[in-house]
Amino acid sequence: MTDVLFILFAVVAVGGGVGVVTGRSPVASLLFMVATLASLAGIYVLFEAHFLAAIQVLVYAGAIMVLFLFVIMLLNLGHDYRADLKYGSWFLLSLVVVGLTAGVLVQGLMGTGETGLRAGGAEVAAAIDAAVVEKGAVGVIADPLFTDWVVAFELMGLLLLVAIVAAVVLAKPRERPEGK
């Protein structure tokens, strides 16, 4: 049953990712992104990372997507449709890239011995389980995030802020002089 749910969540995540890129409007792409993030939270629950799943839903599927929706509505981008992006050569190229990426992922997952991702997985899982028992699930995530990776964590927040400001500046219509 767990394998079936994993495959279902994975298909929804990949389908939502494709929907984000090929959506007819920014609002539709945003809804596909919410579906992708929610399915990733489902995968986290299957892996018994309940705290990570809750953070995924609250922070990303909740707060960040609401922020993106406000930016889309503020800039009035909800009615833009470009047919050339949907059925043009870019769509065919994106299908080829998705197919090649899926092939590489399947090869990595299904490889045996030293070539597959499953090689050495039992030792890694045992080390993670021991750390969770010692520190708790939140401690295992928070310890490296706020010690070793604190600068990267702060830079990601700053990058998100810069991206939102840049989107507002670039999408804002230019004012024309009154005489022209």
| CATH number of the domain that residue 83 is part of | 1.20.120.1200
* 67 inside domain: yes
Q: Hey, how many other C-beta atoms are within 10 angstroms of the C-beta on 9?
A: 19
pLDDT at residue 13, as a whole number: 94
How far, in Å, CA of 63 to CA of 56, rounded?
10
pLDDT of residue 135: 86
**pLDDT tens, 67-88?**
888 777 777 755 555 554 555 6
Tokens representing 16 are 């939502």
Domain assignment of residue 122, yes or no: no
Residues in the chain, pLDDT under 50: 84
Residue 178 placed within a domain: no
Indicate whether 92 belongs to any domain: yes
Question: Does 106 map to a domain?
Answer: yes
Identify whether 36 is part of a domain. yes
- Whether residue 154 is contained in a domain is answered as yes
Which pLDDT score, from 0 to 100, does residue 14 have?
A: 93
As given in the structure block, the two tokens for residue 32 are 């596909």
For residue 89, the Cα-to-chain-centroid distance in whole angstroms is: 25
Domains in the chain, number = 1
User: What local confidence, expressed as pLDDT, does residue 1 receive?
Assistant: 83
Domain that holds residue 159: 2-110+149-171
Give residue 11's pLDDT. Answer: 94
